[in-house]
Amino acid sequence: MNINTTAPLSLPVLLLNLGLGVGVSLIIAWYYIRYGNSLSNRTHFAAILPMLTLITLLVISIVKSSLALSLGLVGALSIVRFRTAIKDPEELIFLFFALAMGLGFGADQRIPTLGAFAFIMLFLVGRAYFFQRRKATHNLYLNIQVMTEQTGINIFAEVNEMLLKELTELDLRRLDHVGQRLQMTYYVNVTDESKLIKIMNVLRNTYPESSVSLVEQSNLLGG
């Protein structure tokens, strides 16, 4: 077998694969922008996904026709070093997704690749819909700080009574009483944001020198 023999590359087939690669990679990029959870610039990152798919597709289309080119590609990749760190696992997943589409179309496996793409996208859309419905419930840390000359026990009981009028569940996570400062931290689940506004107004009217803050649990490290 002559490893230097190169099979001709069909231009119509290559254009068809490139067109399919553009289509699926644009859908992947749109999904990542719309439903991605990365804190980085998703629009900027998504712009590279179509290019990654097309470049991978072109490389595979060329090297598959020649064993010599395939061996040359292995040698070339062995000296390439990618220094850019991927800090978000979600970015890495979508990079592999775009890369897999390029590999599939580059190998002329159009039907299996399209089938896998449809299955993965259905899974991702279903997952996004599920998490979007879960976000209707806000998991929050409610921090209340009250300055008072009364005993901490009385203030703590009064605050609990106020909160239970609006919230069905109340989970105390921390209680600090230092001098005239009483600080309470609760973990709450809220479906109606208007209740939070009402709670804050009641606390401010009852304790004018109080401070109230809300922290979403998903924004905490490890949350």
The pLDDT of residue 87 is 65
Claim to verify: residue 108 and residue 149 sit in the same structural domain: no
Domain stop point among 134, 154, 171? 134
Domain stop point among 85, 104, 134? 134
- Specify the pTM: 0.57
- Tens of pLDDT, residue by residue over 62-114, are 787 665 566 556 555 555 555 556 667 788 889 899 999 998 998 889 999 99
The pLDDT of residue 37 is 72
CATH of the domain at 188: 3.30.70.360
Domain stop point among 134, 151, 180? 134
The pLDDT of residue 208 is 78
Q: What tokens appear for 37 in the block?
A: 């959870």
Residue 127 has pLDDT above 80, yes or no: yes
Q: What tokens appear for 168 in the block?
A: 């069905």
- Domain membership of residue 107 (yes or no) is yes
Claim to verify: residue 69 and residue 174 sit in the same structural domain: no
- Tens of pLDDT, residue by residue over 141-161, are 888 888 776 655 677 888 888
Please list the residues that pair with 98 across neighbouring strands.
none
Distance of alpha carbon 102 from alpha carbon 18, whole angstroms? 9
35 Cβ neighbours under 8 A, 6+ residues apart: 124, 128
**Domain span including residue 182:** 138-217
Are residues 68 and 4 in contact, defined by beta-carbon separation less than 8 angstroms?
A: yes
The pLDDT of residue 198 is 82
- Domain membership of residue 223 (yes or no) is no
